[in-house]
Amino acid sequence: MNNFEFQNPTKLIFGEGTIAKLAKNIDKNKKILMTCGGGSIKKNGVYDQVKEALAGYDVTEFWGIEANPDYATLMKAVEICKTQNIDLLLAVGGGSVIDGTKFIAAGSLYEGDPWDFLSGAATIQKALPLAAVLTLPATGSEMNGNAVISRRETGEKLAFGSKATYPQFSILDPNALRSLPQRQIANGIVDTYIHTFEQYMTFDNKTMVMDRWAEGLLQTLITLAPSLIAGNADYQTYANYMLTATMGLNGFVAMGCVEDWSTHSIGHELTAMHGLDHGVTLAIVWPGVARVMKEYKMDKLVQYGERVWGITEGTNEERAEKAIQATEEFFKSVGMKIKLSDHNIGQETIQRIVQRFKERGWTLGEFGRVTPEKTEEILNAVL
């Protein structure tokens, strides 16, 4: 187990009817910018609940933060914050709205171009306070300091992480999930599964509690997926799913671990170039990472296969392959198409990604073993 320091400052407010608690957590004199997506919160009643809870508050609304939030859209909100003395940002939506809001929060207190936080030209020193009402479990953004921002004009999708951009509090009412379409449920299940993998599926870190914790999250997702996907989930199913997604990327399962994150970095390119949903990219890329990097991940693949899927027969090589296949079948069972060719993506994209990683000097994964050449192999393995 590696040395580590752990601190997560976000207050989690969880359960039925909790949106009403907004007022208890925000001072009446604060000037709020409420940030929203494309309108799902108007259809499912979340917007009305937020407005009711904040009756009498000074609230300005900013609409139109799209899935894979775009720099150009977010800069309009940065301008509002800079000119209207906003005290607090309240994100109401999924990971994209929350990520976008983190960018706005940091960008509003920055003199230069906030894209610097994504390009690596600057690190975030301060940000406006932010809070969230979550409507889509997947990213863990409601309880972490990370954001992934797209820039459509250049076809880029990059991430930042900062202590300054953790939400002060996040409200999670599982009833907000009842309106989620099957596509977004599937995206969220796969995203949470791969977040867990990025922290767990490396080598034997001697992180016994974290291993069991990660395996618990994976098993919970496998248990809950059928009713979530079939659309007959009850409150407890939504509640457990929502908390699983948060726990998948709030730092808890990473304590003392060496992490991977190569699946995410490669997947972000597929979204940037082809607009694929984030979850879809992960279901495609991870099996390639697992097969190409198998020699380094063997112990963990075998452990995962045994503890999560009950695979105990065969050589380690056979057991690892069975574990990867079981994972692929799980992704397909939630409706994912897991090959690049299923999405009409071919060699041209592979070469563009490899070229980009070479230009950026990126080596990914635990210990930087996923070189651009390995990335090429990985993508060819999932063609």
Binding of ligand NZQ by 174 (CB under 6 A) = no
Q: Which residues contact 24 (CB under 8 A, 6 or more apart)?
A: none
Size of the site for Zn ion (CB under 5 A): 1
> Residue 190 CB, nearest distance to Zn ion (Å)?
9
Site for ligand NZQ (CB under 6 A): which residue of 187, 250, 327, 375? 187
Site for ligand NZQ (CB under 6 A): which residue of 60, 179, 220, 371? 179
Tokens of 316: 């380690």
Torsions phi, psi for 131 (to 5 deg):
-145, 165
Interaction pattern, residues 145-184, with Zn ion; x per rule: CB under 5 A: ----------------------------------------
**CA 239 vs CA 33, 87, 228, 280: distances in Å:** 28, 31, 11, 23
> Residue 28 CB, nearest distance to ligand NZQ (Å)?
27
Site for ligand NZQ (CB under 6 A): which residue of 18, 33, 34, 37? 37
Residue 140's binding partner out of ligand NZQ, Zn ion, none, with CB under 5 to 8 Å set by partner kind: ligand NZQ
Piece of the chain touching ligand NZQ by CB under 6 A; list 10-18, 33-41, 223-231, 334-342: 33-41
> Residue 287 CB, nearest distance to ligand NZQ (Å)?
17
Site for Zn ion, residues 182 to 211, rule: CB under 5 A: 191
Asked if 120 and 109 touch (Cβ cutoff 8 Å), the reply is no
Q: Which residues contact 150 (CB under 8 A, 6 or more apart)?
A: 68, 69, 70, 71, 156, 157, 271, 272
Q: At what angle do helices 182-200 and 262-274 cross, to 10 degrees?
A: 150
Interaction pattern, residues 78-97, with ligand NZQ; x per rule: CB under 6 A: ---------------xxxxx
Binding of Zn ion by 142 (CB under 5 A) = no
d(CA 234, CA 178): 9
> Residue 305 CB, nearest distance to ligand NZQ (Å)?
24
> Residue 95 CB, nearest distance to ligand NZQ (Å)?
3
DSSP state of 289: H
Torsions phi, psi for 129 (to 5 deg):
-60, 145
Site for ligand NZQ (CB under 6 A): which residue of 32, 106, 249, 323? 249
Binding of Zn ion by 269 (CB under 5 A) = no
DSSP state of 201: S
Asked if 290 and 297 touch (Cβ cutoff 8 Å), the reply is yes
DSSP 45-90: SHHHHHHHHTTTSEEEEE----SS-BHHHHHHHHHHHHHHT--EEE
Q: Which is nearer to ligand NZQ, 190 or 323 (CB)?
A: 190
Binding of ligand NZQ by 251 (CB under 6 A) = no
Closest CA to 141 of 251, 59, 54: 251
Piece of the chain touching ligand NZQ by CB under 6 A; list 55-63, 81-89, 138-146, 310-318: 138-146
Binding site for Zn ion (CB under 5 A): 191
Binding site for ligand NZQ (CB under 6 A): 37-41, 44, 67-68, 93-97, 99, 135-136, 138-141, 144, 146-148, 176-177, 179-180, 184, 187-188, 191, 249, 264, 278
